């Protein structure tokens, strides 16, 4: 197994769950450089972001399933339907709360935003020149990350 190239910075990053998104840009330099050169810390950062995004996806699926259950209960009106509806709505609300907690407590939304911007940049580069010229300049700046 690979070893961390700078154990002090590696331990600091591990304590923060490899999240440097909340740091001021001038303080991020050493940590970004370490993540770029240290394969162990970089792979752990990817693992943590994968877990965060997986939790958000699981909570989203759970919300959908509880809403679907609520709709099925409303449609078929079984005995004790009111209790089942309350349970389905409670499950939906709990799933939504968990989704919000993960979204607030982790940098997962920033990771998803960065991936979307990267995809938009690649798509913009592949467009023919005549179509690319029609895109408003402020949108091009947002996609390029300069705005």
For the chain, give the longest Cα–Cα distance. 63
37 membership: H or E segment, kind and range: helix 25-37
For residues 80, 86, 90 and 92, what is the CA-based torsion angle, rounded to 10 degrees?
90
- pTM above the 0.95 mark? no
* DSSP symbol at 106: S
pLDDT in tens, 22-55: 788 788 888 888 999 999 999 999 999 999 999 9
Phi, psi at residue 31, to the nearest 5°? -70, -40
Q: 128 versus 109: which is more confidently predicted?
A: 128
CB 143 within 8 A of CB 121: yes
């Amino acid at each position: 197994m690979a070893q961390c190239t700078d154990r002090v910075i590696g331990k600091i990053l591990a304590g923060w769950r490899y999240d440097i998104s909340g740091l001021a840009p001038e303080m991020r330099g050493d940590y970004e450089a370490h993540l770029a050169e240290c394969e162990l810390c970089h792979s752990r950062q990817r693992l943590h972001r994968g877990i965060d995004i997986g939790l958000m996806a699981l909570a989203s699926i759970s919300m959908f399933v509880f809403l679907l259950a609520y709709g099925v209960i409303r449609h078929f009106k079984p005995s004790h339907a009111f209790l089942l509806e309350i349970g389905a709505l409670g499950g939906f609300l709990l799933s939504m709360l968990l989704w919000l907690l993960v979204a607030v407590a982790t940098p997962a939304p920033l990771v998803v935003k960065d991936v979307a911007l990267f995809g938009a940049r690649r798509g913009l580069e592949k467009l023919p020149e005549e179509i690319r010229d029609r895109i408003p300049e402020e949108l091009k700046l947002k996609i390029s990350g300069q705005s």
